[in-house]
Structure 1
């Protein structure tokens, strides 16, 4: 059995636990702590998990939280969307920085000049001093 198939089975069994009334009641009672922690994972499962059973069970769990506390659910959804935007912006900055580094490295490849990069990678400096 491949690790990939084992992972979805673990996810499916973990999500299936939410059907137990005792566990559901404990989780709903502690939703202010639990939902913010697991919401990003639930949202990612809902949006793109390859296994239909895992997606379906995830939707059931989301509904439990939504029914228990719509305001908290909406708050977590809004934070998730904000975090997604921040992550996308950070990814774009990383790609731009790498592009700049590649351009500088390519332009200095022929001249054999060293390329210095600050710790923040906000600036790329060309060191034309000779040793």
Structure 2
């Protein structure tokens, strides 16, 4: 079975606010994101945040390491050349592991795994 990675992270307020202000966002912005890559990948984590414009040629992703450091907002094209097909890969171009159409997202939590809880920053 080809599972997706289980790593999750809260979207930093600054990243959320930046993407919320960018015109033509196609999806509701998440407050937390899961890694979209294949389980047991060796490189950093990458999670989808937003796609811009009706054609959705490129997307914004949150990249983070499993050990330390602040998450980074990156803009990359999708892996697929024609993203309208059923087997199109909706991961960033150059990703490691299998394509998104070959991965399964586990809906149950493994022991010890917790969903992140969004806590807004205090108002200034």
Calculate the TM-score normalised by the size of structure 1: 0.21
Higher strand share: 2
Q: Which has the larger radius of gyration?
A: 1
Higher helix share: 1
| Higher relative contact order, structure no. (Cα contacts within 8 Å, ≥ 6 residues apart) | 2
Calculate the TM-score normalised by the size of structure 2: 0.22
